[in-house]
Chains A and B, each alone.
Chain A
Amino acid sequence: MAAPIASISDAFRADGSASYKCPVTGYRVLAAVNAPVELPARKGALKPQEATVEVSIRPGKLSPSVVEKSAESILRRMLASVILRRHAGYPRRGVVITLAVVEGEPVGRSGTYLPLMPALLHSSLLALMSAAVPLSCTFMTLFFAVTRSDEIVRDPTPAAIKDAESLHVISFSSTGRTLLDLVDGPCDLDIWATIHQQAKDIYQGAAVPGPDGDISMDEESNNAPGDIIRETVEDRLRRDYRWEFETL
């Protein structure tokens, strides 16, 4: 399994930006964050005590439709719980997150956004960090598919997604909370619990046995997606502060 490719703070104008590519599904998402900004158009909707979070998703080669609206509302609720909206300078202002799917097959009106969720969430997290938005925690997102023979596959390929019985997206915060648990398709409670346990194991860094019962010795495949976030930020910092490190 190839590791995802991410970069941070590439944009010139937006406050924070990131790009995240998931090699298995082929989706590449660009995220831009502007915060804190004034939102003059939504004066009535702004709350005096906290910041308003706005998320918009632009599909690559389709006009935005209801599918994007529903994904946006899921992201908005989750990201709003992570952002410290009452931090000084944030109340009555907006955190505007824009996500563009620039590679990969677009999700149609009848499609599901679950395969895109890890890329959307990880790119928004990187962009939020790049914009120095105060966060209560970081998070990582895992994606599973359950095949017709009740086999659990982590990071399924597009073909496997098509044939899957159910799709699962689980997000854990760095503080150990479950932030998001999305299921698409019918699934037993047992399977759901197994997936949840497996996700927790990956999150805690334990080696998870594969479908054949073997534990993979390949370092890459056991990597939690949190690692890519940390590595990307570290790389960027190393690059930005090279002048300082070299003079030490």
Chain B
Amino acid sequence: MKVSEINVNVLPEIPGTSEFKYFTHRLPVLTFTLTSPLCLPPSTKAEMRFLSRLCRKFGTASAVPAQHSLLSFGTGQKMSKETLAAIEHEFILSGLRQGYRHDGRGDNDYRELRVSFGQDYGHVNLQLGKTSVIVRMSATVGKPHQDRPFDGTFNIQMELTPMGSPGWEIGRPSEYESQVLHVLDRVIRHSNALDTESLCIVKGVSCWNITAYVHVVDYDGNLTDAACMAIMAALQHFRRPDSESRGGEAIIYGLEERVPVPLNITRQPLCVSVIFFNDVNNQLLDPTYKEELAADGEFVIGMDDSGLVCFFEKMAGVASQPMSTLDMMSVAGERIKEHNAKLQKALKADLAQRAELGMTNEAKAANDR
């Protein structure tokens, strides 16, 4: 591992925590936040081996923007206001000790994934087991940022309302909400899944502002994965009105005037969250909310369809085993491929249905370009 610089910051706000930044060629590659009484960098053999393997992995991933730190390890408080009864906690743990999950799934199994689309473009209903998410997309014309005159904008809006879970309150964003939003932001927005340059209409004057509104209808754990899949499906399903610039003026065509255009999706990243337990040597995928509450720690892996890691973060709980974490990467890659295939299948079926309805044909025939 070629580390050109190691930057150590002691974080005063969390006592006993230090942040390590690893630089190669002056670019921060890894950021570690460690909580230890001695504030020491990772020194054990296993940790160093893990680091070097990760770096080799990221070293080949040249398409991943390096300005963001790809990896951060953190330890902290569990971020949910909800509570689990001690007896339920013990039930889940004792089941895991005997090799059973409380809903009978295998450790790496996902719950049933159902995707359906509404009548509007970009309206996705997604259910992952009992977790249910609705995403709606909107496209408005706005002004681009001054420092990025060639770029449109893409935003993800999500509010955890009491509809999803009685523990969530309106007007008081929980830490869980910002954590989920942070993951979605990093996996979808910062990996440049949506090419924002294609959203420019007139340089510096007007551009498309695309927003994904996520409604959590029901919450039974693993909101991150469900929301990520729903947003990616919505991005691929959405069609924005056609636009062009003529002599520095933006012209927007109505949905009836011209065939609405699909967004320019460069890659299809999805994420997989993994929970693990302290005394039980188990790593579980797709936790229910009870398993999430019982878990001792969790991390999230973001990967695109070609297996490129675009996000890895361990946000809460006890330390994880480096090697088993790395093993999880390949499992996550398989799951992400499966999910992408499922989403593609659903998207294709919906497009075929729309074509049958004559909506696309009608729009095509009326058009001369």
**Interface positions of A (Cβ within 8 A of B):** 11-15, 17, 30, 32, 34, 37, 41, 54, 56, 58, 60-63, 96, 98, 100, 102-103, 106
- Name A37's contact: one of B123, B161, B166 (CB within 8 Å): B166
Are A13 and B157 within 8 A (Cβ)?
no
Shortest Cβ gap from A31 to chain B (Å): 8
A interface: dominant SS: strand
* A34-B137 contact, Cβ under 8 Å, with A41-B172, A61-B213, A63-B157: no
User: In the complex, A63 Cα to B119 Cα: how many Å?
Assistant: 21
Q: For residue A62, which residues in chain B have a CB less than 8 angstroms away from its CB?
A: 138, 213
Closest residue of chain B to A13, judged by CB? Answer: B165
User: In the complex, A32 Cα to B120 Cα: how many Å?
Assistant: 24
User: In the complex, A56 Cα to B220 Cα: how many Å?
Assistant: 22
* A98-B162 contact, Cβ under 8 Å, with A62-B138, A103-B119: yes
Are A103 and B123 within 8 A (Cβ)?
yes
- Name B163's contact: one of A11, A37, A60, A63 (CB within 8 Å): A11
Q: What are 24 contact pairs spanning A and B, CB under 8 A?
A: A11-B163, A11-B217, A12-B220, A13-B165, A13-B219, A13-B220, A14-B163, A30-B215, A32-B162, A58-B159, A58-B215, A60-B136, A61-B136, A61-B211, A62-B213, A63-B157, A96-B162, A96-B166, A98-B161, A100-B134, A102-B134, A102-B217, A103-B119, A106-B138
Q: For residue A15, which residues in chain B have a CB less than 8 angstroms away from its CB?
A: 166
Q: Is B47 engaged at the interface, CB distance under 8 Å to the other chain? A: no
Shortest Cβ gap from B105 to chain A (Å): 17
User: In the complex, A103 Cα to B165 Cα: how many Å?
Assistant: 21
CB-contacts of B137-173 with A (<8 A): 137-138, 157, 159, 161-166, 169-172
Are B164 and A13 within 8 A (Cβ)?
yes
Closest residue of chain B to A15, judged by CB? Answer: B166
Are A30 and B163 within 8 A (Cβ)?
yes
* A102-B166 contact, Cβ under 8 Å, with A11-B218, A58-B215, A61-B213: no
User: In the complex, A62 Cα to B172 Cα: how many Å?
Assistant: 19
Q: Is B59 engaged at the interface, CB distance under 8 Å to the other chain? A: no
User: In the complex, A30 Cα to B217 Cα: how many Å?
Assistant: 8
* A102-B170 contact, Cβ under 8 Å, with A14-B163, A34-B162: no
Are A60 and B213 within 8 A (Cβ)?
yes
Are B170 and A56 within 8 A (Cβ)?
yes
Q: Give the number of residues in B that approach A within 8 Å (Cβ atoms).
A: 29
User: In the complex, A23 Cα to B217 Cα: how many Å?
Assistant: 21
User: In the complex, A32 Cα to B161 Cα: how many Å?
Assistant: 10
Q: Is B118 engaged at the interface, CB distance under 8 Å to the other chain? A: yes
B interface: dominant SS: loop
User: In the complex, A96 Cα to B159 Cα: how many Å?
Assistant: 16
Are B218 and A13 within 8 A (Cβ)?
yes
Q: For residue B123, which residues in chain A have a CB less than 8 angstroms away from its CB?
A: 103
Are A102 and B215 within 8 A (Cβ)?
yes
Q: For residue B130, which residues in chain A have a CB less than 8 angstroms away from its CB?
A: 12
Are B166 and A98 within 8 A (Cβ)?
no
User: In the complex, A246 Cα to B164 Cα: how many Å?
Assistant: 34
Given contacts A58-B161, A100-B134, 11 further A-B contacts (CB under 8 A): A13-B164, A13-B166, A14-B164, A14-B166, A32-B162, A41-B169, A54-B170, A60-B136, A96-B162, A98-B170, A103-B118
CB-contacts of B96-130 with A (<8 A): 118-120, 123, 130
Are A100 and B217 within 8 A (Cβ)?
yes
User: In the complex, A103 Cα to B215 Cα: how many Å?
Assistant: 12
User: In the complex, A60 Cα to B214 Cα: how many Å?
Assistant: 9
User: In the complex, A54 Cα to B162 Cα: how many Å?
Assistant: 11
Closest residue of chain B to A31, judged by CB? Answer: B163
Q: For residue B218, which residues in chain A have a CB less than 8 angstroms away from its CB?
A: 11-14
Q: For residue A41, which residues in chain B have a CB less than 8 angstroms away from its CB?
A: 169, 171-172
- Name A61's contact: one of B137, B165, B166 (CB within 8 Å): B137
Shortest Cβ gap from A28 to chain B (Å): 9
Shortest Cβ gap from A173 to chain B (Å): 26
Q: For residue B219, which residues in chain A have a CB less than 8 angstroms away from its CB?
A: 13
Shortest Cβ gap from B302 to chain A (Å): 25
Q: For residue A100, which residues in chain B have a CB less than 8 angstroms away from its CB?
A: 134, 161, 163, 215, 217
Q: For residue A106, which residues in chain B have a CB less than 8 angstroms away from its CB?
A: 138
Q: For residue B162, which residues in chain A have a CB less than 8 angstroms away from its CB?
A: 14, 32, 34, 37, 96, 98
User: In the complex, A34 Cα to B161 Cα: how many Å?
Assistant: 11
Q: For residue A98, which residues in chain B have a CB less than 8 angstroms away from its CB?
A: 161-163, 170
Shortest Cβ gap from A122 to chain B (Å): 17
User: In the complex, A106 Cα to B161 Cα: how many Å?
Assistant: 19
User: In the complex, A34 Cα to B169 Cα: how many Å?
Assistant: 11
CB-contacts of B197-240 with A (<8 A): 211, 213, 215, 217-220
